[in-house]
Amino acid sequence: MTITIASKTTLYDRDFYQWVQETTEKLKMKDFDHVDLENLIEEIESLGTSERSEIYNRLATLLEHLLKRMFVDMPQEFNGWENTIREQRKRLKRALKFSPSLKNYFTEVFDEAFVDALEEIRKEKGYKLVKFPDTWQFGRDIDTMINVDFWEQ
């Protein structure tokens, strides 16, 4: 018995990198009639999705570590949590610098990211007895989230 695997017919399906190179060249040459618009549109849309996903994931991670640092009495872990907090803040700041329109998205997804962070922490074995707040009780604007060390207040 012979099994035939259907070959991928478009360059996009066969060799993504080559497709990017050829599409870039066609755009530079203004050869718009030969640009694979369907896949180009899909790739551009996915870039926006990726940027939003990065903001969401970094915010949720930041919130997880802020909660741990503020509510878990494990001084031996403070340095690690603070390092993660600094890293997430730095990367959030950079992402928002390059895509300032995502500041609105940061605000839109804050509550959802907080709920996800809280759920994740509550699943961890070492924190089951810790009383984390059900809502974020501090400033939630971008400037505050990136600059304030809440555990020092």
Residue 62: what pLDDT? 98
Residue 126 has a pLDDT of 87
Residues with pLDDT less than 50, the chain: none
Residue 150: both structure tokens together: 């809440």
Residue 9 pLDDT: 82
**What's the pLDDT score for residue 142?**
96
Distance, in Å, from the CA atom of 66 to the CA atom of 62, rounded to the nearest integer, reads 6
pLDDT score at 143: 96
Give the integer Cα–Cα distance in Å for 98 and 92. 10
Q: What is the pLDDT of residue 87?
A: 98
**pLDDT given at position 2:** 60
